[in-house]
Amino acid sequence: MRKLPVWSKAALVAGMFAYGLFAVAVIMPLLHRVAGRHAERAFEPIRAGWCRTLCRILGVSLEIAGEPSPDARLLVANHVSWLDILVLGASGPMVFVAKEEVSDWPVMGYLARHVGTLFVRRGDAEQTAVTAERMAWTLRQGKRLMLFPEGTTTAGDKVLRFHARLLAPAQLAHVPVQAVAIEYLGDARNVAPFIGEDEFLPHLLRVLMLESIAMRMHYCPVLPAGIPRDTLAQTARRQVAGALFGVAEAKVGAGR
């Protein structure tokens, strides 16, 4: 897609948000009536197409390193921005795991709630355990899960501790795991991070002002099923840090 002026991109994004709301409020219920238990599968091309179209409007230019594995059922990545979700969501069928606060975001939160996103309430061990069981059940159904085990976003200059409890479903369902390192390049390196007290709409406006959004996603070697969750978390974190910074331990943050 050729470069668009900011106002054009803003209008197109608003239109896509409106279409997304229509899709989950009208199309999805119709699919449930017509396709029954196959409704989610039938809705998947609509969801992925929505993500791909938004990526094109925003001018996302994606470079992929490594090889995405069809065998990996759980994907884990460092988390920089809500843009991560759009780009990963455009890549194929998957169920996202997100912090509960995401459900309150304007538009995006509503959409996330209606496309099967699993939410984790930080600091609530009981609720996290329940979500872990739901995650394991999802994996056993043959679906792919995507989560950000840092539990928050960073500016992309470090990798925080991966919370091992979030990786417990991989053990419960006995599935392989693949780590993904997400990096923003050029002007997007400073604008894309959605951190601290950032609010969604003001941040979206800053993103719209970028001519393009250069990204690199590095798919790390697959970690086999059966690895203890603590070891799995540490290994995946080292893989991501190594892909981003060259030396695995160089910029691994202290975590939260």
Q: Is residue 132 part of a domain?
A: yes
Q: Regarding predicted confidence, which is higher, 203 or 109? A: 203
For residue 112, the model assigns a pLDDT of: 87
How far apart CA 3 and CA 9 sit, in angstroms, is 9
Q: Kind and range of the H or E element at 216?
A: strand 213-219
pLDDT of residue 196: 85
Residue 213 falls inside a structural domain: yes
In this structure, the number of other CB atoms found within 10 A of the CB of residue 49 comes to: 12
Domain count, the chain: 1
Dist. CA 224–CA 187, nearest whole Å: 37
Domain with residue 124: its CATH number is 3.40.1130.10
Q: What per-residue confidence (pLDDT) applies to 219?
A: 97
Residue 71 is assigned to a structural domain of this protein: yes
Q: What is the pTM of this model?
A: 0.89
pLDDT at 250 over 50: no
User: Residue type for 52, please?
Assistant: R
Q: Does some domain include residue 22?
A: no
With cut-offs at 50, 70 and 90, classify the pLDDT of residue 106: confident
Residue 38 counted as domain residue: no
Residue 110's pLDDT band, with cuts at 50, 70 and 90, is: confident
- Does 160 fall in a domain? yes
Pair type for strands 74-77 and 118-120: unpaired
Q: What is the pLDDT of residues 197-247, one digit of tens each?
A: 888 899 999 999 999 999 999 999 999 999 999 999 999 999 999 999 986
In a domain, 179, yes or no: yes
Residues 139-170 have pLDDT tens digits of 999 999 999 999 899 999 999 999 998 999 99
Helix (H, G, I), strand (E, B) or coil at 145: strand
Residue 130: domain span: 59-245
Q: 131 forms bridges with which residues in the sheet?
A: none
Task: Quick: pLDDT tens for 30-82.
Answer: 998 988 888 888 899 999 999 999 999 999 999 999 999 999 999 999 999 99
In this structure, the chain runs to a length of 256
- Name the range with the highest mean pLDDT among 111-115, 127-131, 233-237: 233-237
Q: State how far the Cα of 64 lies from the Cα of 243, in Å rounded to an integer.
A: 12
Facing residues of 180 across strands? 77, 219
Residue 160 phi, psi (nearest 5): -75, 170
* Contact by Cβ (8 Å): 94, 88: yes
The answer to the question of residue 97 being in a domain is yes
The answer on pLDDT for 22 being more than 80 is yes
Residue 23 has pLDDT above 90, yes or no: yes
